[in-house]
Structure 1
């Protein structure tokens, strides 16, 4: 194989690697933004019923989705119910 062909093949792999890297970056960015939206809705929602349903769904789904202990540790506060704490504050304000 001549050096020119080898160089072109190497450049092809580099382009593929670059596209793969960009796709991974885009995927990560989408996940971060989606997570930010969910957390924002849990903390700042104007719809308490939606917030409750979203929190309930996350507490039901996350334990089966998270497999590593360090990942589970990141969500301890959510799994233990900051939404419930918000509900308590709201109910106390109504008393």
Structure 2
């Protein structure tokens, strides 16, 4: 019988794939004035992980999930990649 969701996938594998995707997004979009976009990416990643954990732990209430899996816990306990919100470099072009 096939699993219809990712709740049966080992959490380490989920985090590995999620963090790789986040690093790719940051590497591609992390330049001047990207903080608003990266904030949305960060919030989406936190919510997606929280939703996955809700399914894994059979939690149906979002309020309960926010209390049980606050953002700090997602980073400290689950190892979620911390998306930088300030640009590490100023332009997307190499200087001449």
Which structure: larger Rg? 1
TM-score calculated relative to the size of structure 2 = 0.35
Relative to its length, the structure with more helix (as a share) is 1
Relative contact order, higher structure (CA 8 A, sep 6+): 2
